[in-house]
Amino acid sequence: MTDHHQVERIIDPLSGWLWPSHARLQPRTKHQRDVTEQQRSPGEQRVLVAGIGYTNLRDLSLGPALVTRLQSDQWPAGVVIADLSYSPIDVLFQLQAVPRFSRGIFVGAVPRGRPPGSVMVMPWNPPMVTPDELQSRVSEAVTGVIDLENLLLILDHFGALPDEVIVVEIEPFDQSWGDGFSALGEAALDEAERRVRALIQQVLATTET
């Protein structure tokens, strides 16, 4: 360990992002989308692939597990693979401090009563939430709750979501404490990986043309 900042970069989930103090939080709405302090270059495609979930909660940990798989590859500049399994407010600070992403692919296990192991890919359309509900989500965020939907709602409220967002949801089977996944979860992880890789390739192909 030679320098403190090296330590910080190594452990930073978004590959070396520091938190510049000039990036400021402001009240922004969905209609004020051009919010990032540092704007990306015209035509530049920046893709964020994010996994969200708790570790050691079996299939509920599939989001971060997928990120670990993807991070073992070399990706072109502009593609950031990140585990965003921490407070959505901190994620907000991070996203506000860097050029805005054009595409976001957010992956997590979300129990909705679908067939266990199923993988759903969908565009994210913000649900209607009341200010009270949203405030509850912020309270959860600052008090330690890690949750895919909280993250999307909060990033959306403060205008920090990528321009287009795709959500990849995996229906968990085993939600108990422990490492590893159920057989259904394992298969879903493979399937989710295949689809996420295809989505990234689609975006990159669009950029090239």
Partner 1 sequence: MCFKNLPIEFDESGRARLRSDIRDPYAYTSTKTVATQQERIEELLRRNGHIHEVSIDPVTRVAGALAFHAVVDLENRKVLDAHSMATLFRGYEVILKGRDPRDAIFISSRACGVCGGVHANCSAEAIEMAFGTPPPPMGIVVRNLGQTAEFLYDHPLHLFLLAGPDYSETVIRATNPEIWERAQTALAPNADVHGFKTIGEIMTALNPLTGSLYLEALEMTRKAREMTVLVWGKYPHPQTIVPGGISTTISMRVLNEYQVRLFDLLDYSKKMALLWDDVFNFLYEIEPRFRQVGARPKNLIDAGIWDHHEAYDADYRHADHWGERRWNTPGVVRDGELVTTNLHLLNAGLEEFVEHSYYDDWNDYPLKTDPVGNPLSPYHPWNKQTRPKPTGRSWKEKYTWACTPRWDRTVMEAGVYVRMWTTAAAKKIPENPFIESTGQSLRMLVPKGRLPEMTLEWHIPADWNAIERNRARAYAEAYTALVALNNLLIGYELMKQGNTAVSRDFTVPRDFRIGVGFWGAGRGYLTHHLTMDNGVLTNYQIITPSTINASPRDPWGNPGPYEEAVLNTPIIEQFNSPEDFKAIDILRAIRSFDPCMPCTTHVFAGERVVVREVNTCACILEE
Q: Which residues bind partner 1 (CB under 8 A)?
A: 1-4, 7-8, 11, 19, 21, 24-27, 54, 57, 60, 86-87, 89-90, 93, 110-112, 118-127, 129, 131, 134-136, 138-140, 142-145, 147, 149, 152, 157, 166-167, 169, 175-178, 195
Whole-angstrom CA distances from 14 to 99, 121, 152, 209 are 13, 23, 17, 27
Q: Considering the complex, state which of residue 35 and residue 120 has its C-beta at the smaller distance from partner 1.
A: 120
Q: Considering the complex, state which of residue 121 and residue 187 has its C-beta at the smaller distance from partner 1.
A: 121
* Single-letter residue type at 101: F
Q: Any idea what DSSP says for residue 39? A: P
Residue 146: CB minimum distance to partner 1, A? 8
Q: Do you know the residue count of the chain? A: 209
Q: Considering the complex, state which of residue 24 and residue 33 has its C-beta at the smaller distance from partner 1.
A: 24
CB 60 within 8 A of CB 50: no
Residue 169: CB minimum distance to partner 1, A? 8
- Any residues with CB less than 8 A from the CB of 59 and at least 6 apart, and which? 109, 116, 170, 172, 173, 174, 175, 181, 182, 184, 185, 188
Residue 112: CB minimum distance to partner 1, A? 6
Q: Considering the complex, state which of residue 2 and residue 74 has its C-beta at the smaller distance from partner 1.
A: 2
Residue 25: CB minimum distance to partner 1, A? 5
Q: Considering the complex, state which of residue 25 and residue 183 has its C-beta at the smaller distance from partner 1.
A: 25
CB 91 within 8 A of CB 108: no
Distance of CA 127 to the CA centre of its chain: 18
